[in-house]
Copies of this chain bind each other. A is one copy, B any other.
Amino acid sequence: MTANDEKLSRREQRREDRRDEIKAAGVHIFAKHGYHAAKVSQIVKEVGVAQGTFYLYFEGKEPLFGEILNDFLAMVVGTIADWEPSDLDTREALRGDLTRVGLMLTDVLTENPEHTQIFFREALTVSKEFKEMIREFYETLGAMLSSFNAILFDRGLIARRNNRVLAYMTIGMVERVIQEYVVHGVLDDIPAREVVENLVLLYLEGTAPPAE
């Protein structure tokens, strides 16, 4: 690596840092005031740079929001993708896996409450484009969980249900609990593990296959 490369790289690093600062301020302001009430002037003021500087790092207010939204989705998807399923040959194994992934998800969202808030509160109202992106996210998630349920049923691990309805029920119970826990603090006197276990329990008991 030449001195030049190093310098360039240092410059790039600074550029990245500055971008991150602005994005962090964006997260903060969007969470505090909502997308529509948030002003670019508030964001730059929080960072301590001039109005024009914002546009050196982001194309505009909406693109910034888009990145923040993508960061959130990437975090969620990444967490689920990190999940290395066990053999899933018994309901006990399933319980373990679900609890584990649930706790991982709880962790990452608890660490990013503002992202979580922005996602649930604002994402649908910014633009048609984002609305459709979110819709696609939900439908993908719904389809994945439907397939997952179908597999579990095939393996005799869960009872016969309408797997699509079951998928969306699952999504719903998880997302509402997350909102109350992470964003509104309504359930935050309860240990995360207990919350997750209640979720897993309802799912598992609610789908217990009939005893032979």
Which A residues contact B (CB, under 8 angstroms)? 34-36, 121-122, 124-125, 135, 138-139, 142, 159, 161-162, 164-166, 168-177, 180, 184, 186-187, 190, 194-195, 198-199, 201-208
Contacts and interface: CB of A to CB of B under 8 A. Distances in A.
Given A194-B162, A201-B206, A205-B205, A172 B168 contact: no
A37 B162 CA distance: 38
A172 B180 CA distance: 10
A190 B177 contact: no
Contacts of A162: 190, 194-195, 198
A182 to B, nearest CB: 12
- Most chain B beta-carbon neighbours within 10 Å: one of A135, A138, A159: A138
Q: Give the copy number.
A: 4
B169 A202 contact: yes
B177 A174 contact: no
A165 B142 contact: no
B35 A125 contact: yes
A150 to B, nearest CB: 15
B180 A36 contact: no
B164 A190 contact: yes
Contacts of A190: 162, 164-165
Contacts of A170: 173
Contacts of A159: 205
B173 A142 contact: no
Given A121-B125, A202-B206, A206-B201, A165 B184 contact: no
A33 to B, nearest CB: 9
A209 to B, nearest CB: 11
A196 B98 CA distance: 25
